[in-house]
Structure 1
Amino acid sequence: MPQGFNAAQVIDTAFRRYNLALGAGLSKVAGKVFRIGHLGDLNELMLMSAIAGAEMAMLDAGIDVCPGSGVGAAGQYWRTHTQAAADPVAKPALRRVAAA
């Protein structure tokens, strides 16, 4: 999160306004980060919708984010790394990279 902003506000806005559940940062990073998590399967397009929701919640919280920048970056990455995205064995590694 940028200096002067609390991740709790983004998390709250994402949930109340967009029905998107984001995770909070723990311990030393509490209030400084939020997490996109999942239970079960998560593919690239599902993750892209979470990124879009996080962008919208950040904008609503007053954070200067270029709308679509995260979604665009993720889409460009997945389009240019098609073999990794299409390979079911590579998917867990791809998810770890995308979540970082």
Structure 2
Amino acid sequence: VKSKAVLDVLAELGPSTAKTISERTGEPVSSTYRLLDNLAAVGWVERGINRGEYRLGIDCVRIGGQIESRLDIQQIARRTFRVHRGQFGIWGLFVRRRLRTVCIETRT
């Protein structure tokens, strides 16, 4: 649970210091350093470019990419919209990432 909280903070904020992670997770800074060291040992976290920062490790990013490549969001959306066929005139599948939105597909 604690490790997941650290990973969630790094995913949300990007590269962060142990102090910032500690404040966000509610864990003492000393415990946060231990968690970061353990996560770094298995490749889930690595030291950031700036001194004292940590970021998601390459293993974490690689696994996320594998999961994303297997997820066919268009197919999932099509199934949902087929159930509601005729109830919508035009529909679109948009993916929002922070302040940007990308249109994946539109149908009439």
- TM-score w.r.t. length of structure 1: 0.29
Q: Which of these two proteins has the greater Rg computed from alpha carbons? A: 2
Structure (1/2) with the larger strand percentage: 2
TM-score by length of 2: 0.27
Query: Bigger relative contact order, structure 1 or 2, given CA contacts below 8 A and separation 6+?
Result: 1
